Chains A and B, each alone.
Chain A
């Protein structure tokens, strides 16, 4: 069996096995084993990919397979990965694995919880391996819908409202995507012949610019909503704040990346001229996202809200970098996706663990946690440093690359927006250090917090997995960069062909 199909089959088999378990213990063990195997498969895929590239296999997509599904509409189950997709798959595998251990004590309806969580992951894998817009869209929508029960049933706070808001906004986004996909499909054969949903096929033809200008906004904004594009980001703080720990991790860590990935793989790659003409609108919007998200985080007291707004800011930076449309910046965008995915998952995991002990997420009610739960506190601090861009951790590598790439543009407009976006680094430092100072250092504010238990083994496993990945990206970024940049080249070339740069 094709290794990529395996990536979808393993989670499905895991789900089926969970249905046969009786209680929490069975469900979590089965999930952990399934997602552990998945992690191994993802690692194997990574090495196979690097090996194939070293032997000089320079096809755009590797490990491809193609089965006709709906023949008369030319819909295929067509799969294949390039370096970017491989990186995303590895990210998903790591975050899902950590997420299972972060929800080790999920007592209420535990089987259903793990089934839905893994269903979400299945859809994400399916999305990243798809080369056919139809299956890509199918997996995209499939990834959105489990969020509703996951937040609605296991969430906290105004969970029903947040779940509904999130689901409806993202579904409205997918409505836009659908129009974009139809536009691509019906313009995929300008010289006659069968229409196609295949991304690689469509990328070979040039769609008339007028058509591109009509459909690009649909596809881009549609995916952008999931990427927390201002002003469509409002689902994100509410949703993330209400979601249970593992769901926040997976959603902010992986699912939001679907938005960024779709933005360039579908919208920009297939409609480069329109992307070039309209980039300025979205660059302005994403600059606002970056700065606004960071400022938003400063004013929040709830840890999850802080992190949710910080996600808006960081994900804004992803799309910002993509729109710079040069090799360095786009390289940075992918790095930022991975870096943010790992960091934010780590943050949400830690927040869940701290909340489980202190029963509050309000920063002002906590203090001196370093003294009672040193392990979690130290990890939180390191995650914070990664988020504000300390060299040696993933955040620095990603943001540095993004801003260097953005500065390669010589004109005034790009310079100004880059400077504005750069300022977010400072603002990020403010809210991260503020939380660290208030919550982890100083005297213990609440006497109940004096006898908290530090991380259990599964919590350590969950956080250490993510922490090691964050550090690995930070220490050896070139290795990851190598995986990505080769695959970015065809995309950048296609963009460069239309951009006077």
Chain B
């Protein structure tokens, strides 16, 4: 419970700070909030107690605490990357809104991850989703941004409805909403199967799995970059966490029922997202499709139901945090400095901004799963988990998809390093906060893979969680 309480305190303190700060000094809220959140993240890493609250509606384990720490870390990086964007004059009057909205969604996600019954889960999900719509529409005078907000809220509402419909069937069949109860009472009957399919459809919207991904590209493109990166990393990561937890605990006994379904979705998600990503020129849309494809890879870990699968998913999300935020950080830095957000606009970037190009290359290679960076290890373990369950053909499809994805990642690398350009993006120096964030991401991408201790730790807490 500590992490949720800390976040609530942080949100309230920022709100008070907003009231207490005179209008001309609003800019000071940024360093204040950053400092506060560094503190919140750091406290989160102090070992905490396991246990359940509210009659089992809330559960806290080492694994859920670790998941929350991963999410906190991701949000911290996003905040650092957002600093120079928030300082722009058009955002000065809504700095605290950005922080409060983001922290609110994070609180929702924390509750979702810690849920012990479907009610807490659903409440967490809604708390996590609604403020994001506000964030997506943050550039309120830009029509794309407003459109993104509307698209997000409508598709979220629809998916929540579908999800609830599915949950109601499961409740009807088992007579309980508690995870522990449902897990014992669940049987592979048609009504459960139908409920489960609705549940997967609802979650599919949140994680943006094919065929529930249509909102993703438009929202990612329309929303401000720092919100997009939040959506693609934190929001997706949290949804992947809870999806894995629910499948591995609640639906454990009908594993044979859901594996074919997840198998199909995984193949469709990886393949279609990759094929769409091939055609993009807007870097945000490109990363949107790339992140859909990454979600497809996560499903491989889920298919290897067991502690290795759980470990692989959590580890992959951790890697993904550094990797994707590294890529988004560079996109954001470039957009802040020059307003360019097309891949062809990046031509010749290495000549003028070598460091940014290198961070971007490192991140893209990590996304593609190229050794020795962390993405390779993340993908390898996901595939190990799927192969352990006997899905060799699926692993082959996935690795071939990773090869296709390499094609479009290399296209960006090609733009930065090879393609000539008469007017490349001029040399610039991004803000201190952005540079710190990028260095953290690059270091994470580089070292998380080699540090086998992290993987072993996640493995041990996953084993504890599942037993």
A residues engaging B (CB < 8 A)?
A: 69-73, 75, 134, 138-139, 141-142, 145, 148-149, 152-153, 159-160, 164, 167-168, 171-172, 174-176, 178-179, 182-183, 185-186, 214, 218
User: Contact partner of A152 among B308, B372, B414, B452, CB < 8 A?
Assistant: B414
Query: A73-B384, A175-B396 given as contacts; is B417 within 8 A of A168 (CB)?
Result: no
Minimal beta-carbon separation of A192 from chain B (angstroms)? 15
**In the assembled complex, which residues on chain B have CB atoms less than 8 Å from the CB atom of A172?**
400, 403
Bound-state Cα–Cα, A70 to B380, Å: 12
Given contacts A73-B308, A153-B417, A179-B392, 17 further A-B contacts (CB under 8 A): A72-B456, A73-B384, A142-B370, A149-B417, A152-B414, A152-B418, A167-B410, A168-B407, A175-B403, A178-B380, A178-B383, A178-B399, A179-B387, A179-B395, A182-B395, A185-B384, A186-B387
Q: Which residue of A lies closest to B388 (CB)?
A: A186
Q: Which residue of chain A has the shortest Cβ distance to B386 in the bound complex? A: A182
Name the interface residues of B103-120: CB closer than 8 Å to any CB of A.
none
A138 and B372 within 8 A (CB):
yes
Distance A168 CA – B368 CA, assembled complex (angstroms): 12
> When A and B form their complex, which 6 residue pairs have the shortest distance between CB atoms, in order from nearest?
A175-B399, A182-B387, A171-B403, A138-B371, A70-B452, A142-B371
Q: A69-B452, A175-B403, A176-B396 are in contact. Are A145 and B418 (CB under 8 A)?
A: no
**B406 pairs with A167, CB closer than 8 A:** yes
Q: Which A residue's beta carbon lies closest to that of B365?
A: A145
Report Cα–Cα, A379/B125, bound state, in Å. 73
Mostly, the B contact residues are: helix
Nearest Cβ on chain B to A173's Cβ, whole angstroms: 9
Q: A148-B413, A160-B418 are in contact. Are A182 and B392 (CB under 8 A)?
A: yes
- In the complex the two chains form, what is the Cα distance from A264 to B150 in whole Å? 59
**In the assembly, what is the distance between CA of A175 and CA of B398, in Å?**
9
Chain A residue numbers with a CB within 8 Å of B370 are 141-142, 145
Residues of B within 8 A of A182 (CB): 383-384, 387, 392, 395
**Cα distance, A175 to B387, chains bound together (Å):** 13
Q: Are B410 and A164 in contact (CB under 8 A)?
A: yes
Encode B178-206 as 1/0 by CB contact (under 8 A) with A.
00000000000000000000000000000
> B38 to nearest A CB, angstroms?
31
Q: Which residue of A lies closest to B369 (CB)?
A: A141
Q: CA of A200 to CA of B329 in the docked complex: distance in angstroms? A: 45
Q: Is B455 an interface residue (CB 8 A)?
A: yes
Docked-complex contact B392 and A168, CB < 8 angstroms: no
Please, what's the 1-or-0 string for B378-411, where 1 marks a CB less than 8 Å from any CB in chain A? Answer: 0011011001100010011001101100110010
CA distance A176 to B383 in the complex (A): 13
Within the complex, what minimum Cβ distance (angstroms) separates A137 from chain B? 8
Distance of A186 Cα from B372 Cα, bound (Å): 23
Query: Is B371 touching A171 in the complex (CB atoms < 8 A)?
Result: no
Closest approach, in angstroms, between the C-beta of A452 and any C-beta of chain B? 30
Once the chains bind, are B406 and A171 in contact (CB under 8 Å)?
Answer: yes
| B interface residues, how many (CB within 8 angstroms) | 30
Question: Does B376 reach chain A (CB closer than 8 Å)?
Answer: yes
- Bound-state CA distance A160–B414 (Å) is 8
A179 to B400, CA, bound (A): 11
Q: Name the B residues within 8 Å of A71 (CB-CB).
A: 452, 456
Cα distance A152–B388 when bound, in Å?
A: 38
- Measured between C-beta atoms, what is the minimum distance from B43 to chain A in Å? 29
CA of A152 to CA of B417 in the docked complex: distance in angstroms? 9
Q: B68 to chain A: which residues have CB within 8 Å?
A: none
Give complex CA distance A351, B457 in Å. Answer: 54
Taken together as a complex, chains A and B put the C-alpha atoms of A71 and B458 apart, in Å, by 12
- Judged by a CB distance under 8 angstroms, whether B459 is at the interface is yes
Do residues A141 and B395 form an inter-chain contact, with CB atoms below 8 A? Answer: no
Select B400's contact among A75, A149, A175, beta carbons within 8 Å.
Answer: A175
Specify which chain B residues have a CB less than 8 angstroms from the CB of A70 in the assembled complex: 452, 455-456
Given A70-B455, A138-B376, A145-B370, CB of A179 within 8 Å of CB of B410: no
B370 → chain A closest CB, angstroms: 5
Complex Cα gap A172–B402 (Å): 9
B400 — nearest CB in chain A belongs to which residue? A175
Closest to A175 in B: B399
Given the known inter-chain contacts A175-B399, A179-B392, please indicate yes or no for A142 contacting B456, CB distance below 8 A.
no
Q: Across the interface, do A168 and B376 meet the contact criterion of CB distance under 8 Å?
A: no
With contacts A73-B384, A182-B384, A182-B387 known, is A168 near B372, CB below 8 A? no
Query: A408 to nearest B CB, angstroms?
Result: 36
What residues of A have a CB within 8 angstroms of the CB of B380 in the complex?
Answer: 134, 178
Q: Which residues of A lie under 8 Å from residue B418 when comparing CB positions?
A: 149, 152-153, 159-160
In whole angstroms, what is the CA distance A179 to B459 when docked? Answer: 23
What residues of A have a CB within 8 angstroms of the CB of B452 in the complex? 69-71, 75
Say yes or no: A175 contacts B417, CB within 8 Å. no
Shortest distance in angstroms between A44's beta carbon and chain B's nearest beta carbon?
Answer: 27
CA distance A172 to B380 in the complex (A): 15
CA distance A337 to B343 in the complex (A): 42
Q: Report A165 CB to chain B, min CB distance, Å.
A: 10
Contacts of B402 in A (CB 8 A): 171, 175
16 A-B pairs within 8 Å (CB atoms) are namely: A69-B452, A138-B372, A139-B371, A141-B371, A145-B370, A148-B410, A148-B413, A149-B413, A153-B417, A159-B418, A168-B407, A175-B403, A178-B383, A178-B395, A182-B387, A185-B387
